[in-house]
Amino acid sequence: MLHVRMDMHFSSRLQIVIMFVWCTVCSTDISCRNEAGEPVDWFIIYKLPRYKIGEVGSGVDYMYLDSSVGSWQISKYMVNTSQGAIGNTLKQLYAGQAYKSNSSVYALYNDGPPILDYIKGYGHTKGVLLFDHSQGFWLSHSIPHFPSFPERGYLYPSSGKVNGQTALCVTYRYEQFLGIAKQMVYLYPRFYNCSVPATFIAELPQLAQLCKGSKPRPPSDKSMEQLSSIKGETFVSFVKSEHFVDDIYTGWVAQALDADLLVESWQRQGHELPSNCSLPKHVMNIKRIRLPGPVLFQSHYDHSKWCVSRAYEDQVTCLGDLNRGKAQLWRGGGLVCTFNPLIFKAFRQVVDWYFGC
């Protein structure tokens, strides 16, 4: 009996020690989290549309990519549960109640927030920022009405099931968020829940203004900012305000990157911008995607917004906010681009069919 009691005593103490060690790691490092809940430099998810070619899916299955998995992996989780990479990442906000903390900044933004009415005038941009004085993540995605208010916990909207969606999460050191905050001014995102505690206001005055609901004036109509992830991977943020009235892909990014681009975006009939080869670098619309499996679907059912260089030598991939549609010319929005070969390969090889000029 005594032996058993001592064993139990020992094991519960060990448990406390393990919990303590684990929690000092988990609570200090705000990071993108992978499918197992471990910190990662970046990840991408591609939520599959319900209507695939020759098949109707669940609308909640998705592909996952990060630097350690190497190529698209079908997730064993459903996007509408808090398991999986997005749920694990947002858990740091929801379960940790980081939204109540005065030592971290957060913002949930979406032109179409959950529950609330759509208000015109904000940038066409969706995402989450969460960081402290050490580090944090920037998750940008294409899902309307997502994510839910902090006190509600993780909820995935049923409206986000039908179409394909993408999300990019990158972990950055605190200093990089000063640059990201400057980009936010051009985007003019609709922050529907946010907090910029007192100790951050001096360094992040514009983020504090956005959080209060005011509209800081951007110094020009567009801005490019190079960002470096926590592991040193380069990401380039391109953002435009509503005053840059042009298609971001044709009028700016393709020419700035000096690369022909193939663009996957949400295009509604009668409002789409056709493939365009009138400027030195061309932009062409993708029409069909073939993910490994194979999973085939029409771009018509894909609400994601991304592009890749046509040429393998240019090796650039961007994920972002804007569609190639007429109404989008007058909207703020942006793209985050990377030259990572693994990301390029993952996106370039799924382009099954595009419209040339």
Residue 38 is encoded by which pair of tokens?
């471990």
Q: At what angle do helices 205-212 and 174-187 cross, to 10 degrees?
A: 50
Q: Is 202 in the site for ligand NAG (CB under 6 A)?
A: no
Residue 339 is encoded by which pair of tokens?
């030259």
Question: Residue from 15, 102, 159, 226 that binds ligand NAG (CB under 6 A)?
Answer: 102
Q: Is 340 in the site for ligand NAG (CB under 6 A)?
A: no
Question: Residue from 12, 24, 28, 58 that binds ligand NAG (CB under 6 A)?
Answer: 58
Q: Nearest approach, Cβ of 194 to ligand NAG (angstroms)?
A: 8
Q: Is 276 in the site for ligand NAG (CB under 6 A)?
A: yes
Nearest residue to 204 (alpha-carbon basis) of 176, 237, 236: 176
In the DSSP assignment, the letter for residue 117 is P
Residue 140 is encoded by which pair of tokens?
């940008």
**C-alpha–C-alpha distance, residues 49 and 264, integer Å:** 14
Q: Nearest approach, Cβ of 137 to ligand NAG (angstroms)?
A: 18
Contact predicate 39/231, CB 8 Å:
no
Q: Nearest approach, Cβ of 121 to ligand NAG (angstroms)?
A: 17
Task: Pick between residue 49 and residue 59 the one whose CB is nearest to ligand NAG.
Answer: 59
Q: Is 112 in the site for ligand NAG (CB under 6 A)?
A: no
Q: Nearest approach, Cβ of 256 to ligand NAG (angstroms)?
A: 13
Beta bridge partners of 211: none
Q: Is 137 in the site for ligand NAG (CB under 6 A)?
A: no
Q: Is 60 in the site for ligand NAG (CB under 6 A)?
A: yes
Question: Residue from 81, 97, 134, 226 that binds ligand NAG (CB under 6 A)?
Answer: 81
Q: Given the DSSP bridges, would you call strands 261-264 and 283-291 parallel, antiparallel or unpaired?
A: parallel
The residue range among 57-65, 69-77, 85-93, 256-264 that interacts with ligand NAG, by the rule CB under 6 A, is: 57-65
Can you tell me whether residue 229 is helix, strand or coil? strand
Q: Is 325 in the site for ligand NAG (CB under 6 A)?
A: no
Question: Residue from 15, 97, 159, 199 that binds ligand NAG (CB under 6 A)?
Answer: 199
Q: Annotate 177-224 with DSSP letters as a single string.
A: HHHHHHHHHHH---EEEEE--HHHHTT-HHHHHHHHT--PPPSSSEEE
Contact predicate 352/295, CB 8 Å:
no
**C-alpha–C-alpha distance, residues 137 and 125, integer Å:** 16
Residues involved in catalysis: 303
Question: Residue from 72, 172, 192, 235 that binds ligand NAG (CB under 6 A)?
Answer: 192
User: Which residues contact ligand NAG (rule: CB under 6 A)?
Assistant: 58-60, 78, 80-81, 99, 102, 116, 149-151, 161, 192-193, 198-199, 246-247, 250-251, 276, 278-279
